[in-house]
Structure 1
Amino acid sequence: MKMDFKVDGLREIEKALLELEAKVSAKALRAAGRKAMKPVREDVINGAGFDPLATSKHMRDDIKMSARVAGRRSTKTALSVTVFPHKSHNHKAIAQEFGTERQSAKPFLRPALDNNASLVISIFTQEVRKAIEKINKKNGK
């Protein structure tokens, strides 16, 4: 499934980030990405399966978030933020998302992103702009 989003103003943000030191812009990008993806993480937690009879840690209690910037671990994009269950829950997550022979699919990962896409973009652009303004003030621009 291919999804397209039209976002205005990202060229200006990219230009401003390129003017900043790489270390500062990477930190700003990571922070903005993590904040923007919080609603997605919340939806993933709410949609993850829960078995009240289970004695081990529940999948919904072990949802992680990772933010990587370009230049680290072969990331090909400026920023990559992922929300995912801990690897100990991989089989459960795949079974819930796609279903099995005996279990119907109850997607929770993709819908969490789909339902929050415009909010994620909005929060991300606001946070990056704030970071740029803060750095520019600090540098006297």
Structure 2
Amino acid sequence: MADNSKFHVDGLAKFNSTLLGLDAKTGSGVLRRAGRAAMKQVESAMRKGAKLDSGELKDSIGMRASTAKGRSRDRIARISVGPIKKSKGRGKKKRGFSNINQKAIAQEYGNARQSARPFIRPALESNVDNVLRDLINEIGKELTQLK
């Protein structure tokens, strides 16, 4: 079921012209730093919702901010939150990145052995208003510091 939520943001023209007035590296840095700050609450909510089996899934949740590369050059910045860190286990208990992703998928959507216990989507959906508010505030702080 699609969410047809709508919202209105004033001042985007001024914001856009301010960002375009910066060089590409500075503008991308502003957006990455602001995005990381705004998404911290989503990262925290994901950790709280991750199943407490051996703790590997919870430990794998992190955040990554990057600039566009390759086919995504039209994107200025990308903020990824979720199971993105490799496991820190040792010896036979060490699990690779793909095993952690499989655990996350199984918990989020369920499988033949377990029912779904979503933690990724609810973490984002319950924080979307706060993320947008914090993103606007953080970008404002960043741009003020550049003046």
Q: With structure 1 as the length reference, what TM-score do the two structures score?
A: 0.83
Equivalent AA in structure 2 for residue 72 of structure 1 = K
Any residues of structure 2 matched to 1:95-106 within 5 Å, and which?
95-106=106-117
Equivalent residue number for residue 132 of structure 2 = 121
Task: Report if aligned partners of 1:13, 1:128 keep a CA contact under 8 Å in 2.
Answer: no
Question: 2:69 corresponds to which letter in structure 1?
Answer: R
Instruction: Give the match for residue 15 of structure 1.
Output: 17
| Structure 2 portions without partners, runs of 5+ | 86-96
Q: AA paired with 1:124?
A: L
Q: Distance in 2 between matches of 1:111 and 1:11?
A: 32
Please report the TM-score for the alignment, with normalisation by the length of structure 2. 0.80
Provide the secondary structure at the position in 1 that maps to 2:78: strand
Partner residue, 1:50 = 52
Q: Does 1:6 align with 2:7?
A: yes
**Residues 7 and 78 of structure 1, relative CA distance in 2, 3 Å threshold:** farther
Higher relative contact order (CA 8 A, sep 6+): 1
Match of 1:108 in 2: 119
Distance 2:104 2:44 in 1: 16
Q: Secondary structure at the match of 1:93?
A: helix
Q: Residue in 2 aligned with 1:34? A: 36
Task: Give CA deviations for 1:113-132 in whole Å, capped at 9, x if unaligned.
Answer: 00000101111111111111
Gaps of 5+ in 1: 137-141
Paired residues in the alignment total: 131
Partner amino acid for 2:115?
Answer: S
Shift of 1:73: 4.2
Distance 2:139 2:107 in 1: 34
**Contact 1:95–1:105 at 8 Å: present in 2 too?**
yes
Asked if 2 retains the 8 angstrom alpha-carbon contact of 1:10 and 1:125, the reply is no
Q: Deviations over 1:32-88 (max 9, x none)?
A: 00000000000000001112xx4xx5210121211123x434334333211111334
